[in-house]
Structure 1
Amino acid sequence: MTVKSELHDYFRQGREALLWKLDGVPEYDARRPLTPTGTNLLGLVKHTAIVVAGYFGEVFDRPFPRPLPWAEDTAAPNDDMWALPGETRTQVVALFHDANAHADATIEALDLDSPGYVPWWSGPVTLSRILVHVVGEVHRHAGHADIVRETIDGAAGLRTDNSNLADGDAAWWAAYRARVEAEAQRYR
């Protein structure tokens, strides 16, 4: 396996983990803000799609074929972080798939040392640097989504066939959490 294919594989894994967090979630729960800063599942998917479209589009002079009004300077702050009135889950997920297909085509077409330019960084980059950066971003947002999803209904972990968590039933997890809380209480 080449470095490029390994990076691309990690990129795909992060995307799948993030999108999986929407599976089976009712519409309200997909949209509702669950942190003081408004973090929500559908917004994480939308934001990640926009990030991916920008880094693998404009940066390498391969414009994403759809308009991204939430990324424009005229957009309201954080319009990329939630599904605006009239935006459906289907539309956001389609944007996510389209952005990732565009990214995959860019990755397949270019070598790791292919040059690009990130206007918002004001500097030249390579595909290698952007792949490393975006892999980190996607996995970061997948982690956010994991916590948000766990808050909604307790579903947690990497993916449906491998949670990547310790084996334990609800009683085990409750006891574990109680042990962690008891230790934290010592520092109150």
Structure 2
Amino acid sequence: MTDTKARLHRDLRHARESLLWKLDGLGEYDLRRPMTPTGTNLLGLVKHVSGIEAGYLGEVFDRPVSEPPPWFADDPDEPNVDMWARPHESSAFIIAFYRRVWAHADTTIEALDLDAPGTVPWWPAEHAEVTLHQMIVLMIGETNRHGGHADVVRELIDGTAGLRPDFGGLPERGEAWWAAYRARLEHAARQAAGS
């Protein structure tokens, strides 16, 4: 494995772990409940990322996962079927499915060179030809993007914030400091708006 490939693979692994960490310690309701007007929820984010990783680091390289995301087959006409979990779809099942997709994607990454060609059948033909390098970078971006959504959703649920358990990425302050900080930001926003 090249240094570049190893670094990209490590970054993808960190993004995956960070996303899953946002689910730790929560019950089924908090994992599933919609926290934004468009329904963003933690388990739906994991479900979505597992499906796109199965596509971009599997199907695109003619290496489909042995168990495709079942929710697309169950109800292909359901809007956003990959963005929320139905009552019968347990969190344990969705998380385990995501981990199986990781293992499959990791095998693809290890087996192919960064310049290995692939085709994204759902993209326009003029953009459909890609390389493994491009798809790993895309998945790092997608996983981190949805990890960022998960950061906000988790903070709204119970105040847990930070990148991962061993590195929060936020200043270590008490609740009083954060309340005063937020009040200062609110005041600045009102001043800027002229109110």
TM-score by length of 1: 0.96
Aligned with 1:172 (options 173, 177, 193): 177
* In structure 2, distance between residues paired with 1:141 and 1:108: 24
* In structure 2, distance between residues paired with 1:12 and 1:67: 21
Contact 2:54 2:68 (C-alpha < 8 Å) held by counterparts: no
* In structure 2, distance between residues paired with 1:49 and 1:148: 18
Greater alpha carbon shift after TM alignment, 63-72 vs 27-36:
63-72
* In structure 1, distance between residues paired with 2:16 and 2:97: 13
Aligned to 1:104: 106
Unpaired runs of at least 5, structure 1: none
Q: Report 1:1-188 matches (<5 A).
A: 2-71=3-72, 74-121=76-123, 122=125, 123-186=128-191, 187=193, 188=195
Unpaired runs of at least 5, structure 2: none
The superposition leaves residues 120-155 of structure 1 with CA deviations (integer Å, 9 ceiling, x where unpaired) of 113110000001111000000000000000000000
Q: State the one-letter code of the partner of 2:76.
A: T
Contact 1:57 1:102 (C-alpha < 8 Å) held by counterparts: yes
* In structure 1, distance between residues paired with 2:167 and 2:184: 25
Aligned-pair CA distance for 1:116: 0.2
The superposition leaves residues 35-85 of structure 1 with CA deviations (integer Å, 9 ceiling, x where unpaired) of 011000000011111111111111000011103243469241100001113
Q: State the one-letter code of the partner of 1:141.
A: H
The superposition leaves residues 149-176 of structure 1 with CA deviations (integer Å, 9 ceiling, x where unpaired) of 0000000111112101112110111111
* In structure 1, distance between residues paired with 2:81 and 2:190: 39
Q: State the one-letter code of the partner of 2:28.
A: E
Identity %: 57
* In structure 1, distance between residues paired with 2:11 and 2:51: 19
* In structure 1, distance between residues paired with 2:45 and 2:76: 21
* In structure 2, distance between residues paired with 1:167 and 1:83: 34
* In structure 1, distance between residues paired with 2:105 and 2:84: 22
* In structure 2, distance between residues paired with 1:165 and 1:58: 38
Q: State the one-letter code of the partner of 2:119.
A: Y
